[in-house]
Amino acid sequence: MRVPNPCSLGATSKQRGFSLLELVLSAGLASLIMMAISASLVQFNHHKLLVQVVVKVQSQAQLAMAQVLADWQRLCGRGVISGTAQTIALMRPYQEHCVQYDYGYDDRSHSLTRRRLGGRNSGFLAQVESMDLYFGVDSNRDCRIDQWRHSYPTDELAKLHQVRVYLQLRLPASRRLGVGQNGQWKWHADDEVILHPVNFIWRLANVCH
């Protein structure tokens, strides 16, 4: 009769599977790997959202500036009649006539409005949180700006050269972005929008001629 070799039995039992310690270590390592992968995915998605918002912010700013400048460049008659921090009245051609157009900010609709004299208000620029205008005037007629005012005109001698336009635009954004406030924008939690500034100068043509 053949007697089994005890050494061979011991070797066989060791090959049957992993020990409890090995299983725990393997599970822990797998968990760490999954946590690292999940964190990488979250960071990637956040970066993707951030890039999308930056592109949208730049595009919205450029379109807003272009729309305002294009609409204000065709003047006639007296040109700029008057202005305050949130309104400006311009003379523009309409059906072969020189007609007054009033521009203003409507905080209820978060938009800039435009109204032809005798007509109704119409939306001019949407997604606007605020508007602030400063009027650069030449008070001694030497073709140089010597005052910046929040209103125009305060007297008939001042000649308007430039208007500084300060807008704060609204951009709908995902709450997942989780933004607070930085140098480019701030998060409006109530409306889930990003508020970002757009500042530019409107220079009146041939103002010294």
- Report pLDDT digits (tens) over 97-146: 999 999 999 989 999 999 998 888 888 899 999 999 999 999 888 888 99
d(CA 131, CA 128): 8
For residue 181, being part of any structural domain is answered with: yes
What's the order of all strands across the beta sheet hosting 193-203? 147-149, 128-138, 159-172, 193-203, 186-188
pLDDT band at 44 (very low <50, low <70, confident <90, very high): very low
For the record, the structure tokens of 148 come out as 């910046």
For residue 135, tell me if it sits in a domain.
yes
What tens digit of pLDDT does each residue of 139-166 get?
888 888 999 999 998 667 788 999 999 9
Residue 17 covered by a domain:
no
* DSSP code string of 74-90: ---TTSEEEE-SSEEEE
In a domain, 200, yes or no: yes
170 belongs to a structural domain = yes
The answer as to whether 129 is a domain residue is yes
Domain count of the chain? 1
Percentage of the chain beyond pLDDT 70 is: 69
Residue numbers of the domain that contains 132: 119-209
Instruction: Average the pLDDT over each of 20-24, 53-57, 100-104 and give the range with the smallest value.
Output: 20-24
Establish if 172 belongs to a structural domain.
Answer: yes
Q: Is 112 part of a structural domain of the chain? A: no
* pTM exceeds 0.95: no
